[in-house]
Structure 1
Amino acid sequence: MLGRRYRLLSQVGRGGMGRVWQAHDDLLHRDVAVKEVIFPPGLTDSDREVLYERTLREARSAARLSHPGIVTVHDVVEEDGRPWIVMEYVRARSLQEILDSDGRLPAARVADIGVQMLAALRVAHAAGVLHRDVKPANVLLDMRGREGGDARVVITDFGIARMDGDATLTQTGVVLGSPAFIAPERARGELASPASDLWALGATLYAACEGRSPHDRVEAMAALTAVLHEEPAPPRNAGPIASVLMGLLVKDPAQRMTADEANRDLARAARGELTETNGIAETWRDIPDTPRAAGPWTAEFGGRGPATDETVQELNGSVPGPDPAPARQDATTSRRPRVILLIVLVFLLVVAACAVVLLTRHSADGASGSTSPTPTPTTPLTPRSTPSARVPAGYQRSPGPGGASLLVPTGWTRQVRKNSVLWTQPSTGAQIQLDTTPWDYADPVAHWREFERQVRARNLPPGFREVRLSDRFTAPGGWPASDLAFTYLTKDHGIMTATDRGLTANGRQYAIFVAYPGGKNRYPPDLADRVIGSFQPPA
């Protein structure tokens, strides 16, 4: 008997810091849950005092919160020199128990769980309370339901929660929490924040969809290492909420999906408004070819339409010829492109030879004085200038739509589309695109704002998050321009980092897009600058 009123009936749970009992309150004649705190052996008196104070802090933290999704604290009793916390008894299994016995859950159900968890966490955060140990074992699903018939989701065990203003109570060198569900910034020893709980929420929902945590490892240190240095595998069973999971699992808390953003998409998925086809894409262009389903990447919104004409593998710095015109596929016409290509190559060789002769004579006559290497172009050239003959190692100048061109890495696949040309590196998912579909707005900033509005409305590309939208500026060459930097999600390559420049050159609107896998250091930091800066419109 605790406090001469609480009778312990049976043990219902056990964790690293103690046991949870079902008990009966003889005074109020109701069942309650009692958390028994068990001090580890070998603790010093000061360590025991820290754990004692931490337990009292759990009670104070939870007692400040009033929400259906948070377990209610009724009382604290001291017995045998240890605190016992008396709480609301929820007749429910934990999410971890459900996953262990029944396996992973459908995405729509996970979305509903996420909405309820977010509502509880937002109440806690508004009160200055951080949970710091969100994980499936601390999420209860009360199958008696709530209004509407769905299970009530309750977050429990604020045992390592922290209130603003409390001194930090921890043992030196110890990180509190479950390794696979600790946010990267906390694993680095940085202070926890609401974004840390959101990361753990993402890991919890990921586990509910996939049946395992995003950084599941046998050893605790291996899990912490994965949290710090490895990107999670894109979820395969999350359907329309995959982009939410990956957005919450972004390692940089400043770039992590916010509670408002996550709640919006989870609520839409729970209501069936988000489908699996627009929840995540295999790659940037894995979008149906129908105009409406293709979202903002079709001609109705600045291009990004499906490939229609050709695919050419660019190898060893070779440059493809002009975009071919459609031709009948018979025995005679199938040989015609080869003949034309040979004629073009012979013509280019003759022109190059003549240029060498003229330059040699010019230098011999002293007209040019001393010569020096032509600098590598790193900024947009003027509309009437010609590209430098000195192309950086590993790059080549490749033709885009309408006679424009860019420097692109050698060996990438080139695809000609209705209003654009797309270069890809299939092994990494990296992409470059030059698009000429007219915009609805003359101002590039207004164009990007409308772009973002439609992206968010359609969830295409999945997991879109703006990083920066520049003001209007004058790009080299005198062209009005604006840059949009953002991230998005792909199924095969995870989070992608993108830069898209919109500009008007010689009366024509262009979008220059560069994207590559984020956080993997596969590309030099100047890749986007070099590609975008090499843009050359037709003379």
Structure 2
Amino acid sequence: MTDLAHSPAAPAPGRVLGGRYRLEALIGRGGYASVYRAIDEHLERAVAVKVFTASTSDGADRARVASETRVLASLTHPSLVTLFDARLDEDPAYFVMELIDGPTLGDRIAGAPLDPVTTASVAADLAEALHVIHERGIVHRDVKPSNVLLRPAPMPSQPPRATLADFGIAYLIDSARVTATGTLIGTAAYLSPEQARGETPTAAADVYALGLVLLESLTGRRAYAQATPHEALVARLVRSPDVPATLPHGWRVLLSAMTAMDPAHRPDAHAVQRAAMRLKTDESEGWNPVPVTLPAPRAEAGPQDVTDRTAVLPADETSEIPAEPARPSRRRAVWLIVAAVLLVAGLAAGIAAAMVWGGTPAPDPTLPALPEPLGEHMRQLLDQVSP
């Protein structure tokens, strides 16, 4: 990775771009761009400015910059970074995005693993974001903890909103590629097996990467923690990631499906979002979480049909949510009904015996206090058996 903090192409903090955006501090850098916290002096608000390096002078990088700009400009969603402005004809080229003043998911995981409820919230947010971009024919190709920003929640009791950032290497399905066929694009630790083989990326690759991110969020460690990127890539070609048996059953089922070796066996982003919402609700209410059953892929789906890619969980891995225990008030009502029926039966037997043996008629029986309309029903029953 290029150290852009010392690159002559990286502008120094304090510089004003476009007569409007004053750079304050470098907050991130990558292979072809630096991201700054900046102030929009026209609107007096904090923004994030992504400045492209001098390497964008060649045709492939210019296409990549233009591609990312089109992607961001076409998307509006709470879990996707919003593009405010783009200046591709200036030197250096840059565009302006909303500034999410929160940590990355990677920073959060480094402190401690996330609890299941927070992880389910992150999963639902990111799966929804992926569903939105997949519906537009876009594959992110670099879903990883450092590309997930945690937007502070408006209320202290709410979890942060996970926001997907950095579409720098996003691939537009059916568009001209800006990289050569077989080129490995993405972060080695989160690549899918098909990406590791250099195959064309599909939406299923994003689902796989999200599965690894969620697994890391719950355990605090990478699924493939080999010493070198090469070893990590080889490992995922021969085995699925280890999903610990200590995780709740619902999480094991969902993560195993998302990280299936065969892309056709993975759920799509929409199914993951629904399952994550179910897990979030179940965890919050104290149930043993079980995700919803994922719909089966359509028979006519081909290898490039990525918008409808779904999977079915194994039959022995699914179960129904346990029935809610009977409430005390319901049990009490049942016992009252049984007791009342026995009482009426006893009274009826006594009245019949008195009639047979000619004894003194028994006084009118008195029913115990019963809740209505049960009391009225018992009185009517007693009238029917009385002489």
1:153 maps to 2:162: yes
Whether contact under 8 Å (1:464, 1:489) holds in the other structure is no
Q: Identify unmatched segments of 5+ residues in structure 2.
A: 1-15, 300-311, 319-387
Equivalent position amino acid for 2:139 in 1? L
In the alignment, what sits opposite 1:176? 185
Equivalent position amino acid for 2:95 in 1? I
1:272 aligns to what SS in structure 2? helix
In the alignment, what sits opposite 2:52? 37
Pairing partner for 1:7 from 19, 22, 36: 22
Pairing partner for 1:194 from 193, 203, 209: 203
In the alignment, what sits opposite 1:247? 257
Q: What is the number of residues matched between the two proteins?
A: 290
Deviates more, 1:133-142 or 1:258-267: 258-267
Q: Tell me the distance in 1 between the aligned counterparts of 2:219 and 2:184.
A: 26
Equivalent position amino acid for 1:157 in 2? D
1:16 maps to 2:31: yes
Whether contact under 8 Å (2:239, 2:261) holds in the other structure is no
In the alignment, what sits opposite 1:270? 280
In the alignment, what sits opposite 2:172? 163
Whether contact under 8 Å (1:246, 1:463) holds in the other structure is no
Q: Tell me the distance in 2 between the aligned counterparts of 1:131 and 1:198.
A: 10
So what's the TM-score if we normalise by structure 2? 0.67
In the alignment, what sits opposite 1:227? 236
In the alignment, what sits opposite 1:142? 151
Q: Tell me the distance in 2 between the aligned counterparts of 1:125 and 1:146.
A: 30
Higher helix proportion (structure 1 or 2) = 2
Pairing partner for 2:212 from 203, 224, 247: 203
Pairing 1:63-142 to 2, within 5 Å after superposition? 63-78=73-88, 81-100=91-110, 102-142=111-151
Deviates more, 1:205-214 or 1:74-83: 74-83
Query: Residue 162 of structure 1: CA displacement?
Result: 2.0
Higher strand proportion (structure 1 or 2) = 1
Q: Identify unmatched segments of 5+ residues in structure 1.
A: 280-457, 470-483, 491-539
Q: Tell me the distance in 1 between the aligned counterparts of 2:282 and 2:157.
A: 15
In the alignment, what sits opposite 2:366? none
* Sequence identity (%): 32
Whether contact under 8 Å (1:210, 1:236) holds in the other structure is no
| 1:66–1:278 CA distance, 2 compared to 1 (3 A) | same
Query: Residue 154 of structure 1: CA displacement?
Result: 0.7
Pairing 1:51-70 to 2, within 5 Å after superposition? 51-70=61-80
Whether contact under 8 Å (1:144, 1:151) holds in the other structure is yes
Pairing 1:120-519 to 2, within 5 Å after superposition? 120-145=129-154, 149-171=158-180, 174-236=183-245, 238-239=247-248, 240-272=250-282, 486=314
Q: Tell me the distance in 1 between the aligned counterparts of 2:170 and 2:114.
A: 28
Q: Tell me the distance in 2 between the aligned counterparts of 1:161 and 1:49.
A: 17
Query: Residue 273 of structure 1: CA displacement?
Result: 5.4
Whether contact under 8 Å (1:250, 1:256) holds in the other structure is yes
Whether contact under 8 Å (1:69, 1:155) holds in the other structure is yes
Q: Tell me the distance in 1 between the aligned counterparts of 2:317 and 2:51.
A: 44
Query: Residue 34 of structure 1: CA displacement?
Result: 0.9
Query: Residue 146 of structure 1: CA displacement?
Result: 6.7
